[in-house]
Each structure stands twice: as C-alpha cells, then as structure tokens.
Amino acid sequence: GENVEQHPSTLSVQEGDSAVIKCTYSDSASNYFPWYKQELGKRPQLIIDIRSNVGEKKDQRIAVTLNKTAKHFSLHITETQPEDSAVYFCAASNNMLTFGGGTRLMVKP
Amino acid sequence: GAGVSQSPRYKVTKRGQDVALRCDPISGHVSLYWYRQALGQGPEFLTYFNYEAQQDKSGLPNDRFSAERPEGSISTLTIQRTEQRDSAMYRCASSLGVTGMNTGELFFGEGSRLTVL
C-alpha cells in the first residue's frame, strides 16, 4: 500500500516569512495529492490539491509542486500570517487517501 | 445536511463493551470513509464505501472492527469488545465522486472521540 512521509514535524517561522513542507510517497500509481489544514480542535479541511498531470498549482499565498519522477511534493506558503498557524497534512491517493504524519506550523507575530 | 455529521461526539465506555459510531454524510456524496486519528498524528485509513459497497477494509485493525452502509447513505462503525488501545478520535469523511475514478475533496466530520476505560 501507499506510504506517505512528511517533513518537518514542526516548523516555526516569523510572520511574513515563507514556509515549506515536504512529502514523499511510495506508490507510483498515486495520482491525486491534496493538502489539508487542521486547526486546534477542528476537522481537517482541504486547502489545495494537485493531480499528477500538473507540476505546479498556485492559489494566492499557497502553492504546491509535484515531482512524479522523484515521488515528492511540497506545500509553499508565502507571506505567512498568524492565522496560518495549524497542523498541515499532505496526502496521496490512488484509490483511498493516505495521509502523512502532519506538520505543526507556528507563525510568530 | 450541510456537512458530515457524526454521533456521538464523545463516547466513554468500559473495556469489553461494544460501541457503534454513526456517520451521516453530505447528501448525494457517493464515497464514505472512516479514519482514526490519534492526537498529533495524521488520519489513519480504516475503510471506505462507494455507495453501499465496502470497497476496501484493509485498514481495520482486527476483526473486532466492522463497518456498514446498507442504503448507501448513513454508515455505522462498530467496535466489539473494546480495548483501551481503541481510544482515539474516529473521523468520517465523504466525497462527491466515486473513489478510484475521480478522487476528490474529502469533507470530514467533527469526529467521535472514543475513550475506553
């Protein structure tokens, strides 16, 4: 089955700086790669996703890149704000979604 | 409903008791998933359904765990003879499309927090 590794497990940045979270996956058949944000005590919610026929996707301050050859994908958040503080999960899917272990992002004002 | 609804939100039970966790997905959503999430960790896949058919139950930890979705809408996750290690947040999610053909956004419920004493 699919195995998703996520790094770093915690990330602390100053407000306004960029944050990068990286994930690797094992199943070359995976074709869908979403990112979820989970605030404390709340449910995970989708923030951006990318499919295997695209190398990069951007939505305002958030971008995701995918390298299928190397089987890794990354989340980039620019101009971070305190409200970006949360746990972020990457995931990979061929059939069902397999999640990474999460990255706790702390944005210091 | 407006979102994925799970009940009960909190369940405290004694070791050895059976528990049933209910999930009511977003109306019209074909796919339904069960995940287990330990504190500080990512959701761990348990099982999923397309319509009423259970497509994959490879994530169920053992035969004490079972799930059903008899009419293709509401689903129940049942844990028999609960053990302390079963304590976790159990999250249900639903998706509009058929999993495997056009995997899309999962909408998660608030979860059912199970505590086994």
Q: What is the pLDDT of residue A96?
A: 83
Residues of A in contact with B111 (CB under 8 A): 43
DSSP label of A26: S
- A19: which DSSP letter? E
CA distance B101 to chain A (A): 8
Q: Give the CB-side neighbour count of residue A38, counting CA atoms within 13 A.
A: 27
Contact A64, A92 (CB under 8 A): no
Indicate if the pLDDT at residue B99 is higher than 70: no
Q: What share of chain A is helix, strand, coil (3-state, %, to 5)?
A: 5, 60, 40
**B103 pLDDT higher than 80:** no
> Residue A106 region, left (φ>0) first, then alpha (ψ -120 to 50), else beta?
beta
Tell me how far apart the alpha carbons of residues B82 and B17 are, in angstroms, rounded to a whole number. Answer: 6
Burial of A87 (0-12, 13-18, 19+ CB in 10 A): buried
Across the interface, which of B40, B104, B108 has its CB nearest the CB of A43? B108
CB distance A98–B45 less than 8 Å?
yes
Between chains, do B42 and A43 touch, taking CB under 8 Å as contact?
Answer: no
Average pLDDT estimate for B56-75: 96
**Chain B residues with beta carbon closer than 8 angstroms to that of A59:** none
Chain B interface residues (partner A, CB cutoff 8 A): 33, 35, 40-45, 48, 55-56, 58, 91, 99-100, 103-106, 108-111
Q: Considering only alpha carbons, which residue of chain B is nearest residue A97?
A: B45
Query: For the residues B5-17, what does the mean pLDDT come to?
Result: 97
For chain A, give the percent of residues with pLDDT over 70. Answer: 100
> In this prediction, what percent of chain B has a pLDDT beyond 90?
87
How high is the mean pLDDT of chain B? 93
- From the list B12, B14, B6, the residue with the least C-alpha distance to B33 is B6
pLDDT > 90 fraction of chain A, expressed in percent and rounded: 88
A4 CB neighbours in chain B (<8 A) are 42
Chain B positions touching A102 (Cβ under 8 A) are 40-42
pLDDT band at A53 (very low <50, low <70, confident <90, very high): confident
**Distance between CA B116 and CA A83 in Å, rounded?**
34
